[in-house]
Amino acid sequence: MSISNSVIARDGAPAVPRRKVAVLSKRQRKIRNALVAYSFIAPNFLGFAVFTLGPILFAFALAFMHWDGSNAITFAGLDNFWRLFEDKAFIAAFWNTIIYTVASVPATLLCALGLAVLLNQKIAGRNFFRTAMFFPYVASLVAVAVVWNMIFNPEMGPVNMILYTLGLDPKNMPGWAADRHWAMVTVILFGIWKNMGYYMVIYLAGLQGINAELYEAADLDGANSWQKFIHVTVPQLGPTTFFVTVMLTIQSFKVFDQIYMITQGGPGTSTLVLVYHIYNEAFISWDLGYSSMISLVLFFLVLAVTVFQFRRQREDEA
C-alpha cells in the first residue's frame, strides 16, 4: 500500500499514469481476481441456482408435506413415506424400473461395444455407418415412437406380417405394446434401438484412446483377432465400460418419454415406471407431497449408482 501510494501526488491525482495492476496490494489483487472469476460464473450460476438448485431443495422439503398445489401446505411427517409400501402402483413401478434396467443395460452395452469394434476398422463407408447408427439417438422421440408403434402394430404391422409369412400362427403372435406380457419387451427393444448409437460413439472414443503398440505387441505374440479383443481391447476399455454401465443405469432409472409415447404405462401397470408414477401423482392427481417422495426414492437410486461409480473410479486410480 505505502509504496504504491507514493506515486500519487498531493492533490490526489496520479502523478504517473501507471497500469492499475501495479497500484494494487496483494489482498486487493486477490479480491479483484475473485470478482473477475465470479463475473464469469455469475450468468450461469444465477439461472442454475434459481431454476435447478432451489427446486431440488424444495423437492426434498415437499416430500414431507401434504399439498395439492393450491390449498395450504401441511406438514406430513413420514406419511408419504409409509404410503409407498401400501401403494401397489408404486411397487409395480419400482420393480418395472428395475426390470427395465436389468434387461436393457447389458443388451445396449454389448450392442454398442460390438458395433464400435466393427466400425473402428478401416471399412468403406465407415462414416456413413457410424452416422446411421447414431441417428435414432438424435431423432425426435415422438416421431420415431409413432413409426415404432405402427411397425409393431399387432394386426397390421410389418413385424407381425413377417412373422406370419414365416409361418407363425396368428393366435400365438405377440401383441407387442398392447399385450401385458410383451409391452415391456417392446419398450426395451425400442430403448436399445434408440440409445445404442450414442454409447457406440463413446466406445469409439474409448477405442481411439488405446495405444496401438499394445496391438503390435499382441501381433508379435501371434495373437488372433479374438484374442486381441479379449486380452487387449476389453481390459483397455475397462474405464469406458464402467462409465457406460453407470450412465446407462442412470438413464434407465429415468425412463419416461418412450413409455409415455408407446404404452402409457400399460396395459394395467405392466410398463409403469417410477418417473411415470411421479408424473401421474404430480400432474394428474396433484398430490405433490407424495410425488416428491417418489422422486426422493428415484434420487436415492441414482445417488447409490453415482457414489458407487466414484468409489470404483478412485480405486482404479489408486
Partner 1 sequence: MRIAGRKVTIRTIAIYVIVIAVTLIMLMPFAWMLSASLKLSRDVFAFPIEWIPSEPQWQNYVDIWTKIPLALFIYNTSKLTIIVTLLQLLTSSFAAYAFAKLNFPYKNTLFLGYIATIAMPWQVYMVPQFLLMREFGLNNTHLALICLQAFTAFGVFLMRQFYMSIPTELCEAARIDGMNEYQIWARIMLPLSKPALSTLTIFTFVTTWNDFLGPMIYLTKTELKTVQIGLRMFISQYSAEYGLIMAASVVALIPVLVVFLVLQRFFVEGIASTGLKG
List Cβ neighbours of 174 (8 Å cut-off, separation of 6 or more). 154, 160, 163, 182, 185
**Which run of H or E residues covers position 75?**
strand 74-75
C-alpha cell at 165: 409369412
Which residue bears the cell 404410503?
83
Contact 108, 115 (CB under 8 A): no
- Residue 237 found at the interface with partner 1 (CB under 8 A): no
Nearest distance in Å: CB 9, partner 1: 26
State the Cα–Cα distance between residues 44 and 53, nearest whole angstrom. 12
Cβ distance to partner 1 smaller for residue 183 or 288: 288
- Residue 188 found at the interface with partner 1 (CB under 8 A): no
C-alpha cell at 171: 393366435
- Residue 8 found at the interface with partner 1 (CB under 8 A): no
Site for partner 1 in 197-236 (CB under 8 A): 197, 201-202, 204-206, 208-209, 225
List Cβ neighbours of 185 (8 Å cut-off, separation of 6 or more). 174, 176
> Left, alpha or beta for 201 (phi > 0: left; psi -120 to 50: alpha)?
alpha
Report the alpha-carbon angle 184-189-195, nearest 5.
Answer: 120
Cβ distance to partner 1 smaller for residue 218 or 296: 296
Site for partner 1 in 142-161 (CB under 8 A): 142-144, 146-148, 150-151, 153, 156-158, 161
* Rg of the chain (C-alpha set): 28
Nearest distance in Å: CB 258, partner 1: 10
Q: How far is CA 226 from CA 171, 212, 219, in A?
A: 43, 16, 12
- Residue 133 found at the interface with partner 1 (CB under 8 A): yes
Q: How far is CA 63 from CA 9, 32, 66, 94, 211, in A?
A: 65, 42, 8, 17, 50
Of the residues 28, 58, 234, 311, which one makes contact with partner 1 according to CB under 8 A: 58
Nearest distance in Å: CB 271, partner 1: 16
Of the residues 121, 169, 212, 220, which one makes contact with partner 1 according to CB under 8 A: 121
- Residue 291 found at the interface with partner 1 (CB under 8 A): yes
From 10-18, 85-93, 133-141, 227-235, span contacting partner 1 (CB under 8 A): 133-141
Cβ distance to partner 1 smaller for residue 78 or 205: 205
- Residue 119 found at the interface with partner 1 (CB under 8 A): yes
- Residue 7 found at the interface with partner 1 (CB under 8 A): no
Number of residues that bind partner 1 (CB under 8 A): 91
- Residue 187 found at the interface with partner 1 (CB under 8 A): no
CA dihedral of 49, 55, 60, 66, whole degrees rounded to 10: 150
Q: Verify cis geometry, omega within 30 degrees of 0, for the bond prior to 158.
A: no
- Residue 81 found at the interface with partner 1 (CB under 8 A): no
By the 10 Å C-beta count (0-12 exposed, 13-18 middle, 19+ buried), 98 is classed as middle
From 47-55, 97-105, 175-183, 229-237, span contacting partner 1 (CB under 8 A): 47-55
- Residue 56 found at the interface with partner 1 (CB under 8 A): yes
Nearest distance in Å: CB 51, partner 1: 5
- Residue 135 found at the interface with partner 1 (CB under 8 A): yes
- Residue 304 found at the interface with partner 1 (CB under 8 A): no
Site for partner 1 in 15-34 (CB under 8 A): 33-34
- Residue 302 found at the interface with partner 1 (CB under 8 A): yes
Q: How far is CA 203 from CA 103, 157, 226, 239, 305, in A?
A: 20, 34, 18, 10, 20
Of the residues 3, 13, 16, 36, which one makes contact with partner 1 according to CB under 8 A: 36
